[in-house]
Amino acid sequence: MSHLNAYDAHPSVAEEAKHGEHAGWSTFDTKLEGARFHLIHAAVAIDPFDPATAGRLLDELDALAQSYGYGVTDSYLADTAGLSDEDIDGNVELSIQRDNLFEEIGEEDPYFAEVRSSERKLLAAAATAEARQFLGAAGQPESWDGAWGPIYRRMEEAFVRGRDMRAAQTFDAPKP
């Protein structure tokens, strides 16, 4: 990945996102993903559609989703450090975390529920055929609501990259 502006959005954009169409994101994520969805919303809702801006923002969402996958995996590995597979299997909460992280690829995570919600709102706001195509509407039935589209798939792939990157790392314990 090249250098991306994957940092907190400007406070005014984050504030607009907090009260705008994509207000469902957590307080922390509103400054990151929520603000990007807010800005993509503005890009798809105008005629002419600005694919360069929307594409740049999608690149930023990709970087943020990868970071999220890394962070969630890091937390899980910290919670399970020193535990055997049997210990994890015997702990309902940890086994659900493991299954959601490694088998369901985070689909049940509130993060991805917000991605799907934001995708629906973007499709509903799309002002042009080009914007609808960017959002994945080409070839979809008229009843398609926008969820599970190309933004979701790209963010899911980035999440998996981050997850796998962290899962593959090993660290030596600090010496006393």
Extended strands (E) in 92-155: none
Query: What is the 3 state secondary structure string of 73-93?
Result: HHHHHHHHCCCCHHHHHHCHH
Q: What average pLDDT does range 69-91 have in this prediction?
A: 94
Structure-token pair, residue 38: 């807010």
pLDDT of 1 above 50 = no
pLDDT of 66 above 90 = yes
Contact predicate 158/66, CB 8 Å: yes
pLDDT for 51: 95
Provide, for the chain, the percentages of residues in helix, strand and coil under a 3-state DSSP scheme, each rounded to the nearest 5. Answer: 65, 0, 35
Residue-wise pLDDT for 92-127, tens only, equals 999 999 998 998 876 778 899 999 999 999 999 999
pLDDT for 174: 61
pLDDT for 4: 44
Radius of gyration of the chain (CA): 18
Q: Which residue has the higher pLDDT, 19 or 168?
A: 168
Q: What average pLDDT does range 38-65 have in this prediction?
A: 94
pLDDT of 5 above 80 = no
pLDDT for 6: 53
Confidence grade of residue 74 (pLDDT, cut at 50, 70, 90): very high
pLDDT of 147 above 70 = yes
